[in-house]
A and B are shown apart, each in its own frame.
Chain A
Amino acid sequence: MPQAQSVAAADAVLIAAWQGGDEQAAAELVRRHARALARFLAAAGAPEADLDDLVQETFIRAFRAVGRFRGQCQFRTWLLTIGGNVLKDAARRFQQVRVVPLDDDLRSRDGDPHETAVAGEAEGRLREGLERLPHMQREVFLLRAQQGLEYEEIAAALGTSPGAARVHYHHAVKRLKESLQ
């Protein structure tokens, strides 16, 4: 946790600098968190073609609303939940959120082609399963399984209790396992 604390402290300094009008502090926050956000959005169903726009929009919303961020969770966790809402709005606008084509991810992976293909198929099923999950279950699952966050942290970011977050996660896991079988 000391690493998380130092990350949080550095973020807090950058946030304060941005609030004071320092644009480079905003740019630095983007550099620090853009990839994690992109990974989260892509896993949640953002098409790769729209990924850059969605990442930008998430940061814009976050910087505009940063006055409401009270350090209840890490800046990155808060950012990811905003990203989830941005994606939800985008999906509503376009009425379709298609996932990154499987080959895109497969291309970037080394190793045995057969294993890669099997993993790719499982990934595809997981993506489809994720798409079918309710918004809250999907977010909790990704924050926990993909980003490795604790239930307390997830609960603080989503405005729910750790117990409820745990329940959402277990429901998500149960349904995703069914998708993978």
Chain B
Amino acid sequence: MNMDEELQDARLRELARLLGSGAAERLDVERTAQAVVTRLRERPRVTLTGWVWMQPAWLKIAAVIALVLGAGVVTRVLLRERIPSALVAPLGEDLTDLTSDQLRETVGALEQPFADESPGALDAGLESLNTIELRALLRTLES
């Protein structure tokens, strides 16, 4: 650092030291002190719970948890709606008790959620299956 730079630095520091000194001198410190005490008295301290919930980080975390939980509930409800109620009962029972028509109906119901994607793909095949083949198919689907 050359002499000019040192002088400039010293001048800068000197100017910085002077900045605001006039305004600070004119501040009525005693009045300010009393005003602060009065305001502290008027506005009681925030409770711990209040402080915690005032923090933006906590609010963000709470919002993310709420979103995740909400999305989970909605997904669960949508998935349940897509599974036909006809599935629940027949698959729980012994397949040997079912007639061919009941088996076809059950397999058809199983196929229903996917029907939109491949319309009629399985219907044609089911007609040609006998009772034993239908039972085998159902067991495969069950497993």
The answer to whether A107 has its CB under 8 Å from any CB of chain B is yes
| Contact A141 B19, beta carbon cutoff 8 Å | no
Query: B33 to chain A: which residues have CB within 8 Å?
Result: 27-28, 30-31, 34
Which positions 57-93 of chain A face chain B at CB distance < 8 Å?
Answer: 59-60, 63-64
The answer to whether A176 has its CB under 8 Å from any CB of chain B is yes
| Contact B36 A126, beta carbon cutoff 8 Å | no
Q: A30-B32, A177-B8 are in contact. Are A60 and B17 (CB under 8 A)?
A: no
Q: Mark B75-104, 1 if CB is under 8 A from A, else 0.
A: 000000000000000000000000000000
Query: B13 to chain A: which residues have CB within 8 Å?
Result: 145
User: What's the least CB distance linking B36 to chain A, in Å?
Assistant: 5
Using a Cβ cutoff of 8 Å, how many contacts connect chains A and B?
Answer: 122
- Interface residues on chain A, number (Cβ under 8 Å): 46
The answer to whether A173 has its CB under 8 Å from any CB of chain B is yes
User: What's the least CB distance linking B24 to chain A, in Å?
Assistant: 4
The answer to whether A40 has its CB under 8 Å from any CB of chain B is yes
A52 to B29, CA, bound (A): 9
**Out of A39, A60, A126, which one reaches B40, CB within 8 Å?**
A60
